[in-house]
Structure 1
Amino acid sequence: MTTEVRSLREFKMPDVGEGLTEAEILSWSVKPGDTVTDGQVVCEVETAKAAVELPIPFNGVVERLFFPEGATVDVGTVIISVAVAGEAGAAAPAAAAPVAPVAAPAEAEPARREVLVGYGPRTGGTQRRARRTTTTTVVAPAPAAPAPAPVAAAPVVPAQPTGDRPLAKPPVRKLAKDLGVDLRAVTPTGPDGVVTREDVHAHAAAAAAVAAPPAESAAVAPVEPVVVATAGTGDVRVPIKGVRKATAQAMVASAFTAPHVTEFVQVDVTRTMKFVRRLKESGELGRDIRVSPLLLVAKALLTAIKRHPEINAQWDEAAQEIVIRGQVNLGIAAATPRGLIVPNIKDAGGRTLSGLAAALGELIDTARLGKTSPNDMQGGTVTITNVGVFGVDTGTPILNPGEAAILAFGAVRELPWVHKGKVVPRQVTTLALSFDHRLVDGELGSRVLADVAALLEYPKRLITWG
């Protein structure tokens, strides 16, 4: 009678986007005791760029979840351990289990992690893998596991897996901060070593530092804290993280790095609006294709860039060079529940009008669902922000870092306009083009903006100029 040998394997938070160092666990799809298979999604995480589902690269039974939902985890930190069938030579006794997890994943995981989120491997991204942290595995299964060894090890669980960031939900962190309690000094009693509200209160009482804020924090404890109210003032504090944090950092860097210039022009888009209605009614781009004024604005900008490719450029500070990009990756600013993101359509300038419409519709739908992949938000060269959907006439948009230009498309309004020598009501919008004055001088910026305006005033030129 043979006894199945099982060893413990650890799955670490992968680098789900170039340059990212941390991600927040939004939700777990599994729990201790569940069976998982290679490629099965075990959790959804949010980085500074997008929400991403993480599949696990091996088969087994979930032994432990190291972090609760809402925790922010550094890349390379173990987030889940799985008991897998051992290979030949694996130690059979349960007491030897703590050693097995370190050896097993070291040989198998790196090759698979590069394609975890499904958009292809990244070259030159192995530096992070070389920095291996030898984590002593505490074999402490979920409370339901009956194995005798974990029972003895259970008191050790409070020692946090990462060694430097105690496990606690945001309301508990807020409570500890209000009471002046260092979470690292608190003995956790919650599942998997999580510090609870009771642990913080007990520690504060022992230190004779009980104060009023605990009652305030209790008001937000039942819900996952996205916003935290400050008692007595009516103020609301919103944690700066994820997409909003990345956007803020990028905009500050852009505003204080690239010298911005913004130009404006009002355009009679009556013919463009008629053209949009005709395309909708005829279905000539395809019955399932969404047609909007933004589509023609995008096509007009791409056509103008084709005539003036120097605006599709990037400033290379290190090399002291201007890089004129070979293709246009058109970014579209999209408002999502997680904040403003700017995914881009790769090689948008090489697409037909119907191809551009299909890509634009897919980009917007994916962004609204919060499923935009990190790859879709990298490598943009020029951007459009459609402020008109909010009823705004125009603005002075800030450049995305690394891009030379951004076009703001304002609201389309019926205004009195001189047309064929008479003042008549026409459909009018305002365009604003911001550009990096290191790369784009006033003449080039003006020519590009004038071309976009001319194409929208007479959309038939999209065919002759394109």
Structure 2
Amino acid sequence: MTTMTEASVREFKMPDVGEGLTEAEILKWYVQPGDKVTDGQVVCEVETAKAAVELPIPYDGVVRALHFPEGTTVDVGTSIIAVDVSGGAPAPAPETTPEAAEAPEPEKQPEGRQPVLVGYGVAASSTKRRPRKGPQIPVQEASTAVQAELNGHAAAAPAAPAVKERPLAKPPVRKLAKDLGVDLATVTPTGPDGIITREDVHAAAAPAAEPAVVEAPAPVQAPAPAPVATYDTARETRIPVKGVRKATAAAMVGSAFTAPHVTEFVTVDVTRTMKLVEELKQDKDMQGLRVNPLLLIAKALLVAIKRNPEVNASWDEANQEIVLKHYVNLGIAAATPRGLIVPNIKDAHAKTLPQLAESLGELVATAREGKTSPAAMQGGTVTITNVGVFGVDTGTPILNPGESAILAVGAIKLQPWVHKGKVKPRQVTTLALSFDHRLVDGELGSKVLADVAAILEQPKRLITWA
């Protein structure tokens, strides 16, 4: 009976919803134990280092258990939900908690072996690791106990090295230990079933004196959070750095200290461009599409790249090569509640103005809804960031990693301007182009920025230069 029930339970594992992601945070569950689910139904929303993503279940059945609560960060490959696909009524399973309390352990153990190793290593090692988790190396302890009785020696001595030989840790934790130079065999595990956690590695990386002092007063240090409580919560708010914000911060720091940035500025009269925007809004071919100054600025940048293709490149440090891109994936920086994201319009160079307007509208709408997929934020080549919507004149934007240039667009304001020999009120804005000086020298960067300015000043050039 038990075997049949266990066989009917399918474990859904946290998938890699982006390239190379190792973990994701469960933001919200849409189902609870006892709920029926169908193939393709969204069961939860997770946040990765790149975006928030909804996860659909790949089969029909009844939810038996949710393995993690909301707010938990789970490694890729770890089971997050169990579904009974037998068509029976597994709802009583969660109700009979005392009887079922023992069943989940053997179920989670076999599943626990797989998530740790999926995509990371050889499954053969799991058969050696998992038996040690419950009773702490039952086979080896038994053998050493027998030897102790025969030889008259304590079994504790041989057991210690056995633990150090094969420490239990998930791939991200092993990588952290490697980066910090910590030997996992010397780390004392505090995780469930003897698994080494990130905190264990950080503790082991601290000076030897610290663990000795911390271990004894560990209970005494429990009130340590008291100083935190002394902060006036009405005057300060502390927000954990994670998800999109954490990834953005790391990327920007890496970019700022890897690529030598240069920023150039130009102030331009965009009165004619603003008039063209109003005309396009009345054009029947543009009906229902998003028409605004950003659309024409994006088109102007694409034309400038076509005239100066060398600016659309990336730096391959590993192979010491400059990679010229014959396509343009145009990134558009978007501010969202979860932080700044930069989805891009694939093959923007090949799109007509109506097609570009449609893609731009979809990109913005998806970003505002928080539904941007990780794939939409990968592979960008150049980016536009519109700081003008915040009333800012201009800025010095930081390059997105792997890109060669980023254009900042300032606020469009009515200003006094010399036009045809007379001072007149004109619509004026300031553009700022930051570029990687390893790829783009001053001449090339100046040509690109000057071309964008010239098109916005005389938008008819879109026809002659495109």
Q: Using structure 2 for the length normalisation, give the TM-score.
A: 0.72
Q: In 1, are the aligned partners of 2:79 and 2:111 still within 8 Å (CA)?
A: no
Per-residue deviation, 1:401: 0.3
> Aligned partners of 1:364, 1:20: CA distance in 2, in Å?
24
Aligned to 1:324: 324
2:61 paired with 1:60: yes
Q: Is the 8 A contact 1:301 1:452 kept in 2?
A: yes
User: Match of 2:431, as an amino acid?
Assistant: L
Instruction: Say yes or no: does 1:293 pair with 2:293.
Output: yes
Can you give the 5+ residue segments of structure 2 that lack an aligned partner in the other structure?
88-99, 132-167, 171-187, 193-217
Aligned to 1:454: 454
Q: Is the 8 A contact 2:6 2:107 kept in 1?
A: no
Aligned partners of 1:351 and 1:442: how far apart in 2?
A: 29
Paired with 1:31 and 1:136, the residues of 2 have a C-alpha distance of 29
Q: What does residue range 5-16 of structure 1 map to in structure 2 within 5 Å?
A: 7=7, 8-16=9-17
User: In the superposition, relative to structure 1, how do residues 133 and 449 fare at CA in structure 2: closer, same or farther (>3 Å)?
Assistant: farther
In 1, distance between residues paired with 2:111 and 2:240? 38
User: Which residue identity lines up with residue 84 of structure 2 in the other structure?
Assistant: A
CA positional deviation for 1:337: 0.7
**Distance in structure 1 (CA, Å) of the matches to 2:59 and 2:392:** 51
The 3 A distance-change label for structure 1 pair 163 and 214 is farther
Equivalent position of 1:414 in the other structure: 414
The offset of 1:235, in angstroms, is: 2.4
Identify the residue that residue 348 of structure 2 maps to in structure 1. 348
| Aligned twin of 1:274 | 275
**Which stretch of structure 1 is more off in the superposition, 307-316 or 34-43?**
34-43
Answer yes or no: is the 8 Å Cα contact 2:289–2:357 preserved in 1.
Answer: yes
5+ residue gaps in structure 1? 87-93, 110-125, 138-161, 165-181, 187-205, 218-228
Taking the TM superposition and a 5 Å limit, the aligned residue runs for 1:169-318 are 207=219, 211=223, 213=225, 230-231=231-232, 234-280=235-281, 282-318=282-318
Report the secondary structure of 2:302's partner residue. helix
How many residues align structurally?
373
Aligned to 2:76: 75
1:191-216 deviation line (CA, Å, top 9, x unaligned): xxxxxxxxxxxxxxx94666485798
Contact kept in structure 2, 1:26 and 1:43, CA below 8 Å: yes
Structure 1 distance, partners of 2:12, 2:109, is 11
Q: Which residue of structure 1 aligns with residue 334 of structure 2?
A: 334
Retained in 1: the 8 A contact 2:455–2:461?
Answer: yes
CA contact (8 A) 1:255 1:398 kept: yes
Shift of 1:441: 0.7
What residue is the counterpart of 1:220 in the other structure?
Answer: none
Matched residue, 1:25: 26
Task: Give the superposition deviation at 1:34.
Answer: 1.4
In structure 2, distance between residues paired with 1:240 and 1:30: 27
1:350-395 deviations in whole A, cap 9, x for unaligned? 0000000000010000001100001000000000000000000011
Q: Deviations over 1:30-84 (max 9, x none)?
A: 1111122222211000111111111112222212111111111111122112223
Asked if structure 1 preserves the Cα contact closer than 8 Å seen for 2:38 and 2:61, the reply is yes
Contact 2:79–2:112 (CA<8 Å) still a contact in 1? Answer: no
Is the partner of 1:236 in helix, strand or coil? coil
Deviations 1:277-327 (A, max 9, x none): 1111x1333321010000000000000001111100010111111010120
Q: How far, CA to CA, are the matches of 2:254 and 2:367 in structure 1?
A: 24
Is the CA contact (8 Å cut-off) linking 1:29 and 1:43 kept in structure 2?
A: yes
Cα distance in 2 for partners of 1:96, 1:209 equals 37
> If you compute each CA radius of gyration, which structure gives the higher value, 1 or 2?
2
**Contact 1:6–1:84 under 8 Å retained in 2:** no
> Aligned equivalents of 1:343 and 1:301: distance in 2?
17
Residues in 1 aligned to 2:419 and 2:103: alpha-carbon distance in whole angstroms: 86
Which one is further off, 230-239 or 405-414?
A: 230-239
Aligned partner of 1:437 in structure 2 is: 437
CA contact (8 A) 2:16 2:76 kept: yes
Q: Which amino acid aligns with 1:345?
A: I
Looking at structure 2, the residues matched to 462 and 283 of structure 1 have their Cα atoms a distance apart, in angstroms, of 17
The equivalent of 1:226 in structure 2 is none
C-alpha spacing 1:309/1:214, structure 2 compared with 1 (3 Å): same
Q: Deviations over 1:251-273 (max 9, x none)?
A: 01000110000000000000000
Query: Which amino acid in 2 is paired with 1:357?
Result: A
CA distance in 2: counterparts of 1:60 and 1:232, whole angstroms:
46
Relative to 1, partners in 2 of residues 1:9 and 1:184: Cα closer, same or farther, differing over 3 Å? same
Deviations 1:165-219 (A, max 9, x none): xxxxxxxxxxxxxxxxx99599xxxxxxxxxxxxxxxxxxx946664857987xx
Give the corresponding residue for 1:423. Answer: 423
Q: For residue 201 of structure 1, what is the aligned residue in structure 2? A: none
Q: Give the aligned residue type for 2:324.
A: I
Give the distance between the partners of 1:338 and 1:462, measured in 2 at CA: 36
Percent identity of paired positions between Structure 1 and Structure 2: 68
Quick check: 64-73 or 126-135, which moved more? 126-135
- For residue 266 of structure 1, give the secondary structure of its aligned residue in structure 2: strand
Report what 1:391 is aligned to. Answer: 391
String of CA shifts for 1:332-359, please: whole Å, max 9, x gaps.
0000011000000000010000000000
